[in-house]
Structure formats: C-alpha cells, structure tokens
Amino acid sequence: MSDTNLSTDSIASTERQLLPLTRASRFVRLGGIGVVLLSVAAAFLYLGGWFNPEALTPPRFADGFERVDGIHSGFRLNHAKGVCVSGSFESNGRGTRLSKAVVFKAGRAPIIGRFSLAGGNPYVADAPGMVRGLGLLFHLPDGEEWRTAMINTPVFAVNSPQGFYDRLLATQPDPETGKPDPKKMAVFLANHPETVQATKIIQSHPASSGFENSTYYGLNSFWFMDASGRSIPVRWSLAPVQPFAPANTTGHARPDNNRLFDVLIAGILQRPLLWHLIITIGQASDPINDATIPWPDAREQMDVGTLTLDHVESEETNRCRDINFDPLVLPEGMTPSDDPLLSARSAVYSQSFTRRAGENKLPSAVTPSEVRK
C-alpha cells in the first residue's frame, strides 16, 4: 500500500467489512429509495394542487373568462377594451398624516393610466350602462410604484373569488339565444344575497355621461401605515373635477361603437382632465374584507392630491397595453387588507398578463387614427 493511495484505500477497507447485500435486501432498499423519491414528487404535486382538480386556481379562473368571452389574441381577459392615458399626480402632502408612502409627500409623480370597459370583448360597442375602469401606475421618486385598478361603482358586486367566478359563468351567453340564461343568474342571486344588496347600492348611484366625469373607486380596503407605525384601514376613490352629467341612455340615432372613448379623447385633447384623490378613513367597526359593503357616509375623507390626465393614445402605440395594473403593487406604507378578492385579483391579473404577453397583438378598437381625428 503506497502513501498516495492511503485515503481511498482506507475508505475501501471499511467497505470490505460489510457483508454483501442479499438479493432480497437489495430489492427492499431500492424499493425504499423509490418510495422516498416518489413521496417527494407527490408532495410537490400536492402543493401544486394536482390532487384537488375542483379547486378554483388562477389558470381555471382565466379559462372561465375565455369560455364566456372567447379568446381575443393579445388582449386582457377582462376590461379588454381600453385606451391609454398619461399625466401626473400632484400630492398636496396631507396624506403623509395617514401613510408614510412616498406618493403622499408633497410633489409630483408621473402617471400612466388606462380607461377601459368591463368585459372580455375588446371590440364591444360602448354602452352607458357598462362598468368603466381606470387603471393607474404612479412612478414614485424613489423608484417604487403604486398601481391601482378602479371602477365607477361605489361597491363591488361580489365579495369572494368564487362568487366572481360563479357570476361570470352565469353571464355566459346561451349558444341558442345568444343571451345569458336568466335562470342561471336567478340561481346565482339566490345563493348570493350580498350581490343583490350591492346591486341595489350600485343602481342608486346613477352612472355619469362618460369616463371623464365618472367617480372611480378602489373598492377593496387597504391598510395605511404612518411613520410612527400606526395602521389605519382605508379605501380610496377619484372624484372628478369635470361636472356630473347624467348618462344619456336614450336615443342612439347614430350607432357609434366607440362613443364613450371618443368623448373622452375629445375632452382630453381640449383640456387636461382632473380628479381629486380621496382617502376614506375606516374605523374598527367597518368591514375591510367585504367589497360589497359600503362604509358609512360619515367616515372622514381626505383630499390628498390631484390627478391630471393630459395625454391620450391608442393602446397600439402606448406601453399601457403592456402594463399589468395589479392592485397589489403597493409602495411601502400601504399593505393589502385580508379581503380575499385582493390576492385573487393579483393572481388572475398576472395569469391574464402572462397569457396575453405571448400572444399575437391584434389591433385595438380605439385605433391610433381614432385618437388623432
């Protein structure tokens, strides 16, 4: 035995003392290894939801949208029809009493936004009764971002992801009539009294004439944390400076598929559109996990700054198309409440974003020439 082989030989010598495995023993050990490896793989499959095929997951949620609204290459699964806007948010500094978020320090933050109509059809004809959306991205001076996606109803029609999904399926057009089956919706409403209640509240707030004079609501509750570490529940909304005018629900003398968008575009080209960002401060008794229930009117509200939108552009030429207005991209000083819709929105928006990112991009209903005319 030479010096150079000492180390390997000494390991080998300990092996020689082992009795060879019997055939059976070797078989059992190999089988045991197989069982261990399969168990590890099974644990990961379990985490991935493979053993629970009925559970509502982000991909199944997205499939639901595609089933009801069809597949529209390159478009969002919901709020598919839209137009890009940009401008700035001028904070008046008052909001720093509520949250340490950089966005509330006095100063200006550039904004990218997107006005949209609810639904998965990117070429749907505008109608005054359709839910209007506004997604905003605040670029903050320290490189952080705040994104929010708001709609023009004071409360949301459902309070859980499953409720949203079931309602979505209940609106699926019947292949024979081309219209949703009223029986399905009746069954849904019978099982969801919160939706019946929320619909009454929504109907008691008549829609305005257009995007430009709509109030937009953040719907879900969030927590604001100030510099001392104190947390308060809040909701937020955008109150238009443009005066309210009732929606014109009669008289479609000239069918114009993009009527609401055209009025918005003409308005912005004429003069910048302005909104006040209003923070509503909740109290301990206010529900923060149920977007169907409004907070009492008496809650303190604070105007924390002004949103100015002075530029409008087709999705085809603007990067707003490629932004996911994920409501959980929040700056330090804001955190989500335990409203189950919030994490679900983040998950499904992300799923929608990932699907459309790789798809061929079809032209938008609101074309670049439409914005310039």
Site for another protein in 100-139 (CB under 8 A): 102
**Catalytic residue list contains 79:** yes
- Candidate residues 273, 309, 344, 366; the one interacting with another protein per rule CB under 8 A: 344
How would you write the chain as a 3-class SS string? CCHHHHHHHHHHHHHHCCCCCCHHHHHHHHHHHHHHHHHHHHHHHHHCCCCCCCCCCHHHHHHHHHHHHCCCCCCCCCCCEEEEEEEEEEECCHHHHCCCCHHHCCEEEEEEEEEEECCCCCCCCCCCCCCEEEEEEEECCCCCEEEEEEECCCCCCCCCHHHHHHHHHHCCECCCCCCECHHHHHHHHHHCHHHHHHHHHHHCCCCECCHHHCCEECCCCEEEECCCCCEEEEEEEEEECCCCCECCCCCCCCCCCCHHHHHHHHHHHHCCEEEEEEEEECCCCCCCCCCCCCCCCCCCEEEEEEEEEEEEECCCCCHHHHCCCCCCCCCCCEEECCCHHHHHHHHHHHHHHHHHHCCCCCCCCCCHHHHHC
Does position 33 bind another protein by CB under 8 A? yes
Kindly write out the interface string for residues 134-173 of this chain, putting x where it contacts another protein by CB under 8 A and - elsewhere.
Answer: --------xxxx---------------x------------
Kindly write out the interface string for residues 45-64 of this chain, putting x where it contacts another protein by CB under 8 A and - elsewhere.
Answer: --xxx-----xxxxx-x---
Q: Which stretch binds another protein (CB under 8 A): 27-35, 168-176, 195-203, 304-312?
A: 27-35
Q: Which stretch binds another protein (CB under 8 A): 266-274, 295-303, 335-343, 362-370?
A: 335-343
Q: Which candidate in 79, 139, 252, 276 is catalytic?
A: 79
Q: Which stretch binds another protein (CB under 8 A): 87-95, 166-174, 306-314, 327-335?
A: 327-335
- Candidate residues 62, 268, 347, 371; the one interacting with another protein per rule CB under 8 A: 347
**Binding footprint of another protein, residue count (CB under 8 A):** 62
CB of 15 to another protein, least distance (A): 6
Nearer to another protein (CB atom), residue 242 or residue 343? 343
Which residues does the annotation mark as catalytic?
79
Binding site for another protein (CB under 8 A): 3-4, 6-12, 14-15, 18, 21, 26, 29-30, 32-33, 36-37, 40-41, 43-44, 47-49, 55-59, 61, 102, 142-145, 161, 319, 322-324, 326, 328-329, 331-332, 336, 340, 342-344, 346-348, 350, 353-354, 356-358
